[in-house]
Chain A
């Protein structure tokens, strides 16, 4: 029976070619607009560590001046001081903990044919790698070293390894940089977390670093303070050590709780830590510690720009217009078939049969709409990549999105065709048979 409906529907569609095409195109355009904007929101707010994002926390402490807020209206700074980073990391109160900051310096490979270049470096404690599930191609990272322990080791990104060592397994090789000789202990796989949740000081979609070195190297070699670096005390003096001892914030502090540990336990630890520091005269403000897990942090930082939501809402309205349009076109399409339907009814087809026939036709139109919509989506996303070069690394149409597109298209088509179909079914055949 279904085959018969199908054949009849195809015949009817080919009979009213331009009208059918108009309906499908209308649906397709509306759906493409929605899916393009929705895919941006979907891809930008994707959970970077799906299996443990609720246990990985970004830590903020309010060490700011009594009379000013670090971030208006009254939020603590987003980074912590060197002292707090060291104290909290070495207290080892969570499963993993790491403070890190962006910096840079000259990389001067020993091989003649590789010219020296300015490397963008992340100085970090070793638990950064397991905490953020950083994928390694060769070797591994390092453990958190004890305080003041300096080890000249480095982890290279895949492209840096390609650039300096031609892509071979370079673990154990030496690399002169920053005026010292470093040993390569690991090489990463391609790793471009988007959004770059662990440090958004250069924006949420900034490129990955070239190299990773232990955090203590930054103090030892007095590397520049990259990323977001803020101070509230005046006249610190010229010494690098003065910056480290000051209330200047520059370090992103992240922790991962063990699965049996609660957020309250760590909050309690932070509370006691700040109270201890208050005793020695730091933290003039009311204690205001903030722990946000990855998804809360991404929401707080508004990674999905308000523009994107605006486009999405407009696209939804646009889809609604397309639906109304398709509905009025479908109504005319089915009205044109009144006499044919009347004939079938007179020959014994019941209302249900006619309804299923109309439903089949709307579903086919929906599929056609999905096809047009998907094609437009592909072009539209290319357009988005052109307009937002930052997004090009992660904008693509994944399988769930495609399935959603097809689903929404068929659903909209059925919705648009529902009322006209019912109208056709209930009409009295006699009047049209004359």
Chain B
């Protein structure tokens, strides 16, 4: 008895569920539509959030190079007596002496460039062995400094290990650098110093000794998600068009681009300088579709949330309007303002809960479809839970304004005829 009277004083204890449910059931159609809407919103938001977080993971993946301070340009010789090797050597020597430039290298492959060969590497010779695919970089001894990659074991190339070759020359160098991820895949160890000095075989035939391990260097493009596996050969390919990758001192990038471009075009009139691009802009292009996908998904989810909120708010305001007199009678019979507020919030919570039950089934269904169509991983429970919390908060916020209006209906409304 005592306990019951105490409970009666708590606001929620006075919530009468039965009349509320029956009032909801009187508007079967509007109620069903709202529940279905909440269910679908839950399904889309939970899966959408999951896809967005997956894309953000890809976008935040570091490439291993000093991205903000690197730019590239192409030097294309076009006259009969243009000497590509002499041009590359003198250009690089000059560039490396410039005060704003940390280092420079001639290469067509770098992260986000989208062009490189993939080689099959193995630890035992012979064509019947297991192979690990790796993207190949061709760099001279300045390469790793120009990219800003750090060596975690072994040593860099020496100048006389570097082979200057034409495009079709396929002599393989005797030493290579590999990334730590590739070292793990090949030799099954994380003790980098033990890998230095080991022999690996390239495309089943050519052998080379691992001279050093770099911490991270992403592949220029990735056919099947093996983006961390790269091998660096001490080679420079000489052709009429060469691409220079230039790393500047921090914050001097834009300034250096202008001076370098001017200097190179003036220093040798037998070639033209073109395709001057920063790594950042190339990154934007490579990841453009992912950035677009994230943006579009976020816009759709925001719009969906707003639509759902408008639907809830619209229906509740209408209910307040229709039950004006009923609320007045309740107030006149002794219900206080909090009771009226509770009535609308509880109605909303009942609606949202119904929607969430159906929504969970839909969310899992949608995820099964996405898994089968897009090889997407399974939806973690945490995304459904966060979407559920979002929907409850959304429901409460959307009900707030009409419920406050209902709360302030005066008991005198009971006496007026509608």
Contacts of B371 in A (CB 8 A): none
Whether the pair A321, B288 counts as a contact (CB closer than 8 A) is no
**Chain A, residue nearest B170 (CB):** A235
With A235-B170, A336-B318 already in contact, the answer to whether A331 and B33 are too (CB < 8 A) is: yes
Which of B30, B41, B303, B321 touches A29 (beta carbons < 8 Å)? Answer: B303
B264 within 8 A of A: no
Inter-chain contacts of A307 with B (CB < 8 A): 289, 292-293
Selected from A116, A238, A311, the residue in CB contact (under 8 A) with B78 is A116
A305 at the interface (CB under 8 A from B): yes
Within 8 A of B (CB), among A103-149: 106, 108, 116-118
Q: How far is the CA of A306 from the CA of B318 in the complex (A)?
A: 42
Chain A binding surface, main DSSP class: helix
Instruction: Answer whether residue A264 sits at the interface, using C-beta atoms and an 8 A cutoff.
Output: no
Q: CB distance A236 to B168 under 8 Å?
A: yes
Please give me the residue from chain A that is nearest to B318 by CB atom. A332
Residue among A22, A106, A238 with most chain B CB within 10 A: A106
- Docked-complex contact A238 and B168, CB < 8 angstroms: yes
Contact between chains at A26 and B307 (CB < 8 Å): yes
Least Cβ–Cβ distance between A417 and chain B, in angstroms? 11
- Knowing A332-B314, A419-B29, A423-B29 are in contact, say whether A324-B34 is a contact too (CB < 8 A): yes
| Contact for A328 among B34, B78, B169, CB less than 8 A | B34
CB contacts (< 8 Å) of A236 on chain B: these are 168, 170
Pair B40/A26 contact, Cβ less than 8 Å: no
Q: Assess whether A4 is interfacial by the CB under 8 Å rule.
A: no
Cβ distance A179 to chain B, nearest Cβ, rounded Å:
7
Q: Which A residue's beta carbon lies closest to that of B204?
A: A234
Knowing A310-B374, A324-B33, say if A22 contacts B310 (CB, 8 Å).
yes
Q: Is B297 an interface residue (CB 8 A)?
A: yes
In chain B, positions 276-300 with a C-beta closer than 8 Å to chain A are 288-289, 291-293, 295-297, 299-300
Contact of B37 among A305, A310, A325, A332 (CB under 8 A): A325
Which B residue's beta carbon lies closest to that of A311?
A: B296
Chain B: which residue is nearest A243 at the CB level? Answer: B168
**Interface membership of A322, Cβ < 8 A:** yes
B203 touches which one: A234, A242, A318, A320 (CB < 8 A)? Answer: A234
Q: Tell yes or no: B415 within 8 A of A by CB.
A: no
Q: B135 within 8 Å of A by Cβ?
A: no
Query: Could you tell me the distance in whole angstroms from the C-beta of A428 to the nearest C-beta in chain B?
Result: 16
Minimum C-beta distance from B51 to chain A (A): 8
- The residues in B between 302 and 340 inclusive whose CB is less than 8 angstroms from any CB of A are 303-304, 307-308, 310-311, 314-315, 318, 321-322
B76 at the interface (CB under 8 A from A): yes
Q: Is B303 touching A318 in the complex (CB atoms < 8 A)?
A: yes
- Least CB distance, B81 to chain A, in whole angstroms: 12
Q: Which residue of A lies closest to B291 (CB)?
A: A387
A366 at interface, CB cutoff 8 A? no
Judge whether B262 is part of the interface by a CB distance below 8 angstroms: no
Give A22 to B48 CA distance when docked, in angstroms: 25
Chain A nearest CB from B313 CB (Å) reads 9
Instruction: For the complex, give the distance between the alpha carbons of A220 and B384 in Å.
Output: 64
Q: In the complex the two chains form, what is the Cα distance from A72 to B303 in whole Å? A: 41
**A-contacting residues, B326-375, CB 8 Å:** 366, 370, 373-374
Chain B residue at minimum C-beta to C-beta distance from A423: B29
Q: Specify which of A19, A315, A324, A384 is in contact with B40 (CB 8 Å cutoff).
A: A324
B307 pairs with A33, CB closer than 8 A: no
A203 to chain B, nearest CB (A): 10
In the complex, the chain A residue whose C-beta lies closest to that of B293 is A307
Instruction: Produce 1/0 per residue, A310-346, CB < 8 A to B.
Output: 1100110110111011011101100110000000000
**Which residues of the partner chain A approach B51 to less than 8 Å between Cβ atoms?**
310
For B40, list chain A residues within 8 Å (CB): 317, 320-321, 324
Which residues of the other chain, A, contact B241 by a CB distance below 8 angstroms? 118
How far is A420 from B299 in the complex, measured between Cα atoms in Å? 31
Residue of A whose beta carbon sits closest to that of B303: A29
Using A314-B297, A317-B40, A419-B29 as known contacts, say yes or no to A329 and B311 having CB atoms under 8 A apart.
Answer: yes
B30 close to A332 (CB less than 8 A):
yes
Q: Interface digits, A276-318 against B, CB 8 Å rule (1 contact, 0 not)? A: 0000000000000000000000000000011101110011011
Instruction: Tell me whether B408 is interfacial, beta carbon within 8 Å.
Output: no
In whole angstroms, how far apart are the Cα atoms of A314 and B314 in the complex? 24
| B-chain residues with CB within 8 Å of residue A29 when the two chains form the complex | 303, 307
Contacting pair A324 B36 (CB below 8 A) = yes
Q: Cβ of B43 < 8 Å from any Cβ of A? A: yes
Residue B274 at the A interface, CB < 8 A?
yes
- Which residues of A, 37-51, contact B by the 8 Å Cβ criterion? none
Verify B310–A325 contact, CB threshold 8 A: yes
Contact A328 B274 (CB under 8 A): no
Q: Are B76 and A321 in contact (CB under 8 A)?
A: no
**A321 to B310, alpha carbons, bound, how many Å?**
12
What residues of B have a CB within 8 angstroms of the CB of A388 in the complex?
288-289, 292
A sample of 22 inter-chain contacts (CB < 8 A) reads A29-B303, A108-B78, A117-B272, A179-B80, A234-B205, A235-B170, A238-B169, A306-B374, A307-B292, A310-B373, A317-B43, A317-B44, A328-B37, A328-B311, A329-B315, A331-B27, A336-B321, A387-B288, A387-B291, A387-B292, A387-B295, A420-B29
- Chain B residues at the A interface, C-beta cutoff of 8 Å: 27, 29-31, 33-34, 36-37, 40-41, 43-44, 48, 51, 76, 78, 80, 127, 166, 168-170, 203, 205, 241, 272, 274, 288-289, 291-293, 295-297, 299-300, 303-304, 307-308, 310-311, 314-315, 318, 321-322, 366, 370, 373-374
- Given A242-B168, A328-B31, A387-B296, list of 17 further CB < 8 A pairs? A19-B318, A29-B307, A33-B300, A234-B203, A306-B374, A310-B51, A310-B373, A317-B40, A320-B40, A324-B311, A325-B37, A327-B29, A328-B314, A328-B315, A335-B27, A387-B292, A420-B29
State the A residues within 8 Å of B (CB).
Answer: 19, 22, 26, 29-30, 33, 67, 106, 108, 116-118, 179, 234-239, 242-243, 305-307, 309-311, 314-315, 317-318, 320-322, 324-325, 327-329, 331-332, 335-336, 383-384, 387-389, 419-420, 423
Closest 6 CB pairs of A and B: A328-B33, A387-B292, A106-B78, A325-B311, A324-B37, A332-B318
